[in-house]
């Protein structure tokens, strides 16, 4: 899932000389938390709602209210912006963008094209939407989680059983985190299964792999292994 398919393309940008008050109004009007700062089509920085909060409160304990408002009205974005914004290429995957956000501890990054021009912005909210889409969580199916042997065919054994019960697969995800050597965790999301046959299906699946949990999102029923 490429960043270009999930990013916001109609990006609101500002000039370095923009007053902070004007930036606050823009963020409120467009319901955004990130403002790329551009000069002559070149990215020179970025301002977030956190940057504005920090600038607004830096001297709040020392100044009276009217003095604080006067100080804020004089501040320009070039004085508070991050001059080294985190950027990702337009052909990055959403996972790579998420990794860049986590590594840099930011809630969004600027997306640049092959000429290093601003192409869009992708935020943690966009990543959440991509995650919901790729996992099929919005389809309200049934998710199974198992710890399986890390060998060829171990996933197929389980998916074949699900298909025998008329189930269709929405997503198949695996992880090697926090598992013994030679194993991995498997997360299967399915739909079109007769709910009355779920206990029987769970029993057959559990005979092939270590059961971790089953969640029926439509009925909001959960079975968690102890």
Confirm if 44 and 37 have CB atoms less than 8 A apart. Answer: yes
The pLDDT value recorded for residue 226 is 77
- pTM, rounded to two decimals: 0.83
Confirm if 83 and 45 have CB atoms less than 8 A apart. Answer: yes
What residues in the chain have per-residue pLDDT under 70?
57-73
SS3 93: strand
The pLDDT value recorded for residue 54 is 84
How far apart CA 219 and CA 196 sit, in angstroms, is: 12
Please tell me what DSSP assigns to residue 139: G
Q: Taking Cα atoms as reference points, which of 166, 28, 1, 164 lies closest to residue 95?
A: 1
The pLDDT value recorded for residue 173 is 97
Name 39's bridge partners.
42
Q: What angle do CA 7, 93, 129 make, to 5 degrees?
A: 50
Specify whether the backbone of 211 is left (phi greater than 0), alpha (psi in -120 to 50) or beta.
beta
């Amino acid at each position: 899932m490429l960043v270009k398919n999930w990013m916001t393309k109609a990006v609101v940008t500002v000039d370095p000389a923009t007053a902070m008050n004007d930036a606050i109004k823009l963020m409120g009007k467009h319901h955004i938390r990130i403002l790329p700062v551009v000069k002559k089509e070149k990215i020179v920085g970025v301002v977030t709602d956190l940057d504005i909060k920090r600038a607004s409160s830096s001297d709040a304990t020392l100044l009276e209210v009217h003095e604080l408002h006067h100080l804020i009205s004089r501040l320009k974005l070039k004085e508070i912006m991050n001059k080294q914004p985190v950027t990702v290429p337009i052909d990055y995957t959403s996972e790579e963008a998420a990794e860049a956000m986590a590594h840099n501890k930011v809630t969004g990054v600027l997306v640049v094209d092959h000429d290093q021009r601003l192409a869009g912005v992708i935020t943690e909210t966009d990543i959440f939407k991509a995650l919901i889409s790729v996992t099929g969580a919005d389809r309200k199916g049934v998710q199974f989680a198992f710890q399986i042997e890390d060998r060829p065919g171990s996933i197929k054994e389980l998916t074949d059983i699900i298909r025998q019960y008329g189930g269709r697969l929405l997503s198949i995800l695996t992880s090697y985190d926090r598992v013994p050597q030679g194993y991995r965790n498997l997360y299967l999301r399915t739909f079109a299964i007769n709910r009355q046959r779920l206990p029987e299906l769970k029993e057959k699946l559990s005979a092939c792999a270590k059961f971790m949990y089953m969640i029926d999102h439509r009925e909001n029923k959960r079975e968690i292994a102890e």
